[in-house]
């Protein structure tokens, strides 16, 4: 557990992290891209645990998008192996997980993922389902537009079955059919690595999210960067369309 954490008057309920810059981090050091992803995985665990200790209740980490399948086969294979290693390592951290009470949820399309990875995902979700203090969403094979399409299909099926009528469809119903149903929308989305776009991340949920951009590559992201984000969040005036 982290000690000497700064106190913040207002904490975001939900923070989204676009973990970007692993490949460039490796390239800058003359390493293969897979080395950057390994270092990025270490950063993910560290930042995740720090945010939990700060008191952030919901986090979503963009791990692998639906578009990432177009990357070189070797890189995709290395990423899938890394996800498996993370889940296997997590099985050995039971005591630590009990202390932080972090629930793991994987959001995204299951189709296309390796079967052995899917088994580990299912096991991790079942094992941590008892926790309610912290929710960690890992966006894997995820796309914001695909998520909205999934919700539309689910709602359309209910209309076709006569469970609901077209007049019952509203924003709340859509929110109830997306992957993060029951969770607050992200208060702030963090994008490191010098890019200024969402990249199909939490498209529905980010309608009123704040944004925080940085040139820091994800493997170099630190707890001090989190403190900087939270300090900046204190100054944001969130009006949600009001005055």
Q: Which residues are catalytic?
A: 20, 68
Q: Largest Cα–Cα distance of the chain, in whole Å?
A: 59
* φ/ψ (deg, to 5) at 134: -130, 135
Is residue 3 exposed (0-12), middle (13-18) or buried (19+ Cβ within 10 Å)?
exposed
CA distance 146 to 127: 27
**Alpha-carbon distance 75 to 69, whole Å?**
9
Count of Cβ atoms closer than 10 Å to residue 145 Cβ = 11
Cα–Cα distance for residue pair 159/157, rounded to 1 Å? 5
Nearest to 226 by CA among 40, 49, 20: 49
């Amino acid at each position: 557990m982290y000690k000497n954490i700064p106190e913040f008057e207002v904490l975001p309920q939900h923070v989204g992290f676009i973990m970007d810059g692993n490949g460039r981090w490796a390239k800058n050091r003359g390493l293969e891209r897979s080395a950057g992803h390994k270092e990025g995985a270490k950063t993910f665990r560290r930042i995740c645990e720090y945010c939990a200790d700060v008191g952030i209740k919901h986090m979503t980490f963009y791990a692998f998008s639906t578009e990432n399948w177009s990357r070189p086969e070797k890189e995709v294979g290395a990423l899938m192996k890394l996800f498996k290693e993370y889940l296997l390592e997590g099985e050995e951290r039971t005591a630590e997980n009990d202390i932080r009470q972090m629930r793991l949820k994987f959001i995204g399309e299951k189709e296309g993922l390796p079967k052995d990875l899917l088994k580990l995902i299912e096991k991790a979700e079942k094992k941590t389902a008892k926790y309610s203090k912290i929710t960690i969403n890992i966006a894997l094979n995820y796309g914001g537009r695909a998520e909205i399409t999934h919700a539309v299909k689910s709602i359309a099926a209910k209309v076709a079955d006569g469970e609901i009528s077209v007049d019952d469809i509203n924003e709340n119903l859509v929110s109830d059919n997306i992957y993060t149903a029951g969770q607050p929308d992200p208060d702030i989305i963090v994008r490191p690595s010098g890019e200024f776009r969402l990249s199909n991340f939490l498209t529905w949920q980010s309608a009123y999210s704040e944004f925080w951009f940085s040139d820091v590559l994800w493997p170099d992201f630190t707890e001090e960067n989190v403190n900087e984000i939270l300090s900046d969040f204190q100054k944001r005036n969130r009006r949600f369309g009001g005055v």
